[in-house]
Amino acid sequence: MIIWLAIIVGTVTCYLFKLAGLSIPERLLDNPRIRRIAALLPVALLAALTAIQTVATGSRLVIDARLAGVAAGAVALLLRAPFLVVVAVAAGTAALIRLL
Amino acid sequence: MSPERRREILRNAAGIGVAVGAYALSFGALSVAAGLTPLQTMVLSLVMFTGGSQFALVLVLGQGGSWPAAAGSAIMLGSRNLFYGPRVAELLDRPRGWRRLLTAQVTIDETTAMALGQEERAAARLAFWATAVSAYSLWNLGTLVGALGAALLPDPKALGLDAAAPAAFLALLAPRLRGREPWLVALAAAAVALALVPVVPAGVPVIVAALAAVAAGLRGKPVDP
C-alpha cells in the first residue's frame, strides 16, 4: 500500500510539472535564482542518493562490497564507458568480492 | 529539411532509444530488487516516464524510506522537466488540448535536448517526436525485461545489484559535474546525507541534503558540509 501511495503521488506530481511547463508563460521561470536551483537540485539529489546507496544500510553506515563496486564504476565512467557498462562493472565487482 | 537531415535525426533518435532501453534494463531489475512488483515497476515506466525520478523512488523505498520521502525525492528530481516546458511549447507551436497532454508526458531530458539541438522548426518537431517514440517504447520494453529477469533471480545481492544502484546514480551525476560549483554542491549534499543517516528516518537525508546544498549554493557562500 505504501508503495502504491508513493507511486501515485510521485507520478501525478511529476506529470503536473511537465504539463505546467508547457502551460505557463516562460517569463515565470526566467528568474536567475530559479534557474540556479533548477541546475543545482539534480546535482545535490543525485550526489546524496549515490552516497547513501553506497554506504548506508537502513540507518547504519556500512562499508562493504558496494563501495568497491561503485569505485570500479567510477573508473569505468572516467574511461567514458557507456551507461550499461558502468552499471555492469559496478555490479560485477561487488559480486566478485562477495564470492571471494 | 533535407532527406539527409531527416535520416540523421531518425538515426540519432533510434540511438537515444537504445541507450534509454539499456538504462531501463537496470531500472527494471533494481526496482524489483528493491521490493516493487513487476506491475508496480511497469506502472512507473509507463506513467511516470522520467528515469532519474523513477530510480530515486524505488531506491528510497528499497532503503526502507517512507512514502513521502520516496515520492518527495522523485518529485524534486522530476521538477527539472518543468523548465523544459516553455522551450518545447514554443518549438512545437504551443500544443493545445489532448496534444498538450500527450506532449507533456514525453517532455523529458532526451526529447528536449534533441529538439533544442535542431536549427529548423520542422526538424525540431521531428526530432522531438521521433525521440519520444523510440525512448518511450524502449524505456518500457527495457523495464519489462529487466523487471521480469530480476523477478526470476533468487538473490539480487549475489549479483551485486545493490552496487549497481549507486553506480547508476553516479553515471547520471557525472555529466553534471562541470566546474567548481556543482562539485562543491555534490560533495556537500553527499556529506550532509551521510551525516544524517543514523539520526533521521530513511529517505529523509536525501531530501534534507538536497535542500541544504541548494540553499548554500544559492547564497554563493563557500559550501561547508
C-beta atoms of A45 and B73 within 8 A: yes
Instruction: Locate all alpha helices (DSSP H) within chain B, ordered by sequence.
Output: 3-33, 38-43, 51-62, 67-78, 80-91, 97-105, 109-116, 121-151, 161-173, 180-196, 204-219
pLDDT in tens, A31-48: 887 778 888 888 998 999
Residue to test with chain A: of B162, B183, B192, most A Cβ within 10 A: B162
Domain that holds residue A14: 1-30
Tell whether A1 is covered by a domain.
Answer: yes
Q: Which residue has the higher pLDDT, B224 or A78?
A: A78
A58·B176 Cβ contact <8 A? no
Query: Which among B203, B168, B80 is positioned nearest to A40, based on CA atoms?
Result: B80
The answer to whether the Cβ–Cβ distance between B165 and A53 falls below 8 Å is: yes
Say if A67 falls within a structural domain.
no
* Band of pLDDT at residue B92, cut at 50, 70 and 90: very high
With an 8 Å Cβ cutoff, is B138 touching chain A? no
pLDDT of residue B216: 77
Residue numbers in A near B213 (CB within 8 A):
40, 43-44, 47-48
- CA B182 – CA B19 distance, rounded (Å): 25
Partners of A57 in the β-ladder: A60
Distance from CA of B2 to the nearest CA of A (A): 29
Over pLDDT 70: what percentage of chain B?
96
Is A54 among the domain residues? no
Q: Is A80 on the interface with B (CB under 8 A)?
A: no
Between CA B41 and CA A20 the distance in angstroms is 25
- In degrees and rounded to multiples of 5, residue A79 shows phi and psi of -85, 10
Q: Is residue A82 in some structural domain?
A: no
Count of structural domains within chain A:
1
**pLDDT in the model for residue B151:** 86
User: pLDDT, tens digit, for every residue of B12-50?
Assistant: 899 889 888 888 988 999 999 999 999 999 999 999 999
Residue A50 and residue B190: Cβ atoms within 8 Å? yes
Residue A60 contacts B, CB cutoff 8 Å: yes
Q: Is residue A55 part of a domain?
A: no
Flag whether A10 is in a domain. Answer: yes
Using CB atoms and an 8 Å cut-off, which of residues 187-206 of chain B contact chain A? 187-194, 197-199, 201-202, 205-206
Which residues have CB under 8 Å from B45's CB, separation 6+? B24, B27, B28, B54, B139, B140, B143, B144
Question: Which of A12, A49, A67 to probe by mutation at the B interface, max B CB count within 10 Å?
Answer: A49
The stretch B150-164 carries a mean pLDDT of 79
User: Is B78 within 8 Å of A17 (Cβ atoms)?
Assistant: yes
Is residue A19 included in any domain, yes or no?
A: yes
What is the per-residue pLDDT for B220? 61
What was the ipTM of the complex prediction? 0.88
Name the minimum distance, in Å, from the CA of A40 to any CA of chain B: 6
Number of H helices, E strands in chain A: 4, 2
Q: Does A75 touch chain B (CB under 8 A)?
A: no
Q: Which grid cell sits at A19? A: 504539463
- pLDDT for res B225: 39
Task: Using pLDDT thresholds of 50, 70 and 90, give the confidence band for residue B218.
Answer: confident
Put simply, the answer to whether B190 touches A47 (Cβ < 8 Å) is yes
Q: What is the per-residue pLDDT for A83?
A: 80
Query: Does the beta carbon of A23 lie under 8 angstroms from any beta carbon of chain B?
Result: yes
Are B120 and B2 within 8 A, CB to CB?
Answer: no
Q: CA–CA separation, B185 vs B196, rounded Å?
A: 16
**Which of B36, B85, B192 has its CB closest to that of A18?**
B85
